[in-house]
Amino acid sequence: MKNVAISTALALALASTAPAFAQNTNIDAGGGKGLVVVDISNIKAEIAEEIDVNVEDLADINSVQVPVNAAANVCNLDVNAIASSNDQGTKSCEAENTSDAVNQAVQQQLG
């Protein structure tokens, strides 16, 4: 029963991050409306461990696009601050940790 509850919680968490799109872009590139380009170069080892791949497999992936709330979380920024900068066209930040949304975006990039 506990596994069912955990699976359900994970499914709901992943469903809420479904709009996360992976993209290998320059960090200064703007994402689509509501998306932020997140530089993952400093957390590749953590991501690789969490998604069970070799860190070398992530060599060509330097950034991903995720929703503002996910970007604020992994970049340790206030949602309002990043949303405000998003309105000004500065749609990027540097990740300090990873999340399900970032991991999913990386997995999408890997194919």
Can you read off the two tokens belonging to residue 45?
A: 């080892």
Q: Give the distance, in angstroms, between the CA of residue 40 and the centroid of all CA atoms in the same chain.
A: 8
Q: How confident is the model at residue 88 (pLDDT cuts 50, 70, 90)?
A: low
Per-residue pLDDT of 57-83, as tens digits, reads 999 999 999 999 999 999 999 988 887
Q: Is the pLDDT of residue 2 over 70?
A: no
17 and 104 Cβ atoms separated by less than 8 Å: yes
As a whole-number percent, the residues of the chain with pLDDT over 90 amount to 54
- Sheet containing 21-22: which strands, arranged edge to edge? 21-22, 63-67, 35-39, 92-94
Residue that wins the pLDDT comparison between 20 and 107: 107
Q: 40 with 62: CB under 8 angstroms?
A: yes
Tokens at 81, concatenated: 């601050």
